[in-house]
Amino acid sequence: MVGQKHLLLGTRKGLFQFVAQDHDWRMVRHSFEGIPALYACYDARNDTIWVSLDHGHWGQKLHRSTDGGQTWQEIPAPKYPETAMLKDDKPAALELIWYIQPGGADQPQRLYLGTNPGGLFVSDDGGDTFQFADSLWNHPSRPENWFGGGKDNAGICSILVHPDDPRHLTLTVSVGGVYVSRDGGATWEGRNKGIVSEFLPNPESEYGHDPHYITHCPARPEVLWQQNHCGIYRSENGGESWEEISQSDGPARFGWAICAHETDPLTAWVVPAHSDMSRVTIDQSLCVSRTEDGGKTWTAFREGLPQELCYDIVYRHAFHNMGDSLMFGSTTGNLFFSTDAGASWRTLANYLPPVYSVRMYAN
């Protein structure tokens, strides 16, 4: 039985919490008002909410709540070790806590943090302390192939834990590529075969690609979906090889966010944008594109979404699905949701701060 549905909304001006009510949503709490909340998620293993904050001058902060967001405890933000160097004369330092991922169900105390400038941090005590993953930082591909895209330095922007094997991890580095570990993070290998990035001297290079976000079908976790800077990609073998599934004559190509169906490995959704040069909607109208055949074809849905003078785009963490319910927030503070697998949309809120992350959960 599905419990109460909740929504965590990370924005430029704090964390908003909503609960589902009578086929709609009601805001119940606004925390950290005025402070950028980069990412927020729920850990079902211990009923804990996590949020990362960017205080600008005061740096990065990490908070958790075990009472639904009524009170918060600050956790010391992890620090890069002195041995971690961006360049020979420039030590690495924490710039952003960009992604938070709980470990597997049989790892009740494990938590992962994906950060800029590309460091992975791991906790095995429920987030009280974090260790730096030297294995990824010292991967031989990093010095020459990790670099900044939208940000000055590379960053880990998504982390997947295999639902049947928590030692099987897949993460994305923007810019760097897709990496997989089968031993809990002790070793890593690149998984970028089939990705083509026009901005690289060698577009088919083994590393140096810009995955905006990666996700999987939980029921078929070997099926991966990737919204890449240079197109949409799908893998049926855990990233061993990728196939481009961009729409050649339609909107589904460039963007940041992608959602995968929880049980159907052929279905996924994207929110298209025009291009990396302009970064606005296509023809000043907003749509969500869905494929139900593994990317062979895409259908654009527009009912309930603005179709004139609309410039909203959607950041990589600001689109989420749970069953047939989908939710996304935009850079102009609009929040939309669908209860029919994206066929039609309703407006939940306007005039919010720019939305950084959207995550739904039930408890």
Domain-located, residue 263: yes
Beta bridge partners of 176: 209
Q: Which of the 8 DSSP states describes residue 174?
A: E
**End-to-end C-alpha distance for the chain, whole angstroms:** 10
**Number of domains, the chain:** 1
Q: Report the alpha-carbon distance of residue 7 to residue 357 in Å, rounded.
A: 10
Residue type, 345: W
pTM of this structure: 0.97
Q: Report the alpha-carbon distance of residue 105 to residue 266 in Å, rounded.
A: 26
pLDDT of residue 151: 87
Label residue 104 by pLDDT band (50, 70, 90).
very high
CB atoms under 10 Å from CB of 2, counted, come to 8
Label residue 22 by pLDDT band (50, 70, 90).
confident
Label residue 121 by pLDDT band (50, 70, 90).
very high
Q: Report the alpha-carbon distance of residue 95 to residue 15 in Å, rounded.
A: 20
Mean pLDDT of 313-337: 97
Q: Which of the 8 DSSP states describes residue 144?
A: H
Domain-located, residue 101: yes
Q: What share of the chain in percent tops pLDDT 70?
A: 99
pLDDT of 194 strictly over 90: yes
Label residue 87 by pLDDT band (50, 70, 90).
confident
Mean pLDDT of 179-194: 98
Domain-located, residue 291: yes
pLDDT of 79 strictly over 70: yes
Instruction: With beta carbons less than 8 A apart as the criterion, state whether 225 and 215 touch.
Output: yes
The number of CA neighbours under 13 Å toward the Cβ of 160 is: 28
Q: Which of the 8 DSSP states describes residue 209?
A: B
pLDDT of 213 strictly over 60: yes
Sign, CA dihedral 247-249-254-255, equals negative
Q: CB within 8 A of 146, min separation 6: which ones?
A: 118, 153, 154, 173, 175, 176, 207, 208
Domain-located, residue 182: yes
Domain-located, residue 312: yes
Helix (H, G, I), strand (E, B), or coil: what is residue 149?
Answer: coil
Label residue 2 by pLDDT band (50, 70, 90).
low
Say which CATH number the domain at 219 has. Answer: 2.130.10.10
pLDDT of 292 strictly over 80: yes
Over residues 137-171, the pLDDT tens digits come to: 999 999 999 999 888 999 999 999 999 999 999 99
Q: Retrieve residue 274's tokens.
A: 């025009």
Domain-located, residue 46: no
pLDDT of 360 strictly over 90: yes
Instruction: With beta carbons less than 8 A apart as the criterion, state whether 271 and 288 touch.
Output: yes
Beta bridge partners of 85: 91
Mean pLDDT of 291-307: 98
pLDDT of residue 197: 97
Domain-located, residue 216: yes
Over residues 277-290, the pLDDT tens digits come to: 899 999 999 999 99
Domain span at 167: 86-350
Label residue 93 by pLDDT band (50, 70, 90).
very high
pLDDT of residue 329: 98
pLDDT of 1 strictly over 70: no
Lowest mean pLDDT among 147-151, 178-182, 261-265, 336-340: 147-151
- Residue 352 Cα distances to 72, 163, 285, 321, angstroms: 23, 34, 19, 20
pLDDT of 338 strictly over 60: yes
pLDDT of residue 149: 81
pLDDT of residue 3: 84
Helix (H, G, I), strand (E, B), or coil: what is residue 322?
Answer: strand
Our CA angle for 284, 290, 256, nearest 5°, is 60
Domain-located, residue 243: yes
pLDDT of 237 strictly over 60: yes
Q: What is the overall mean pLDDT for the chain?
A: 97
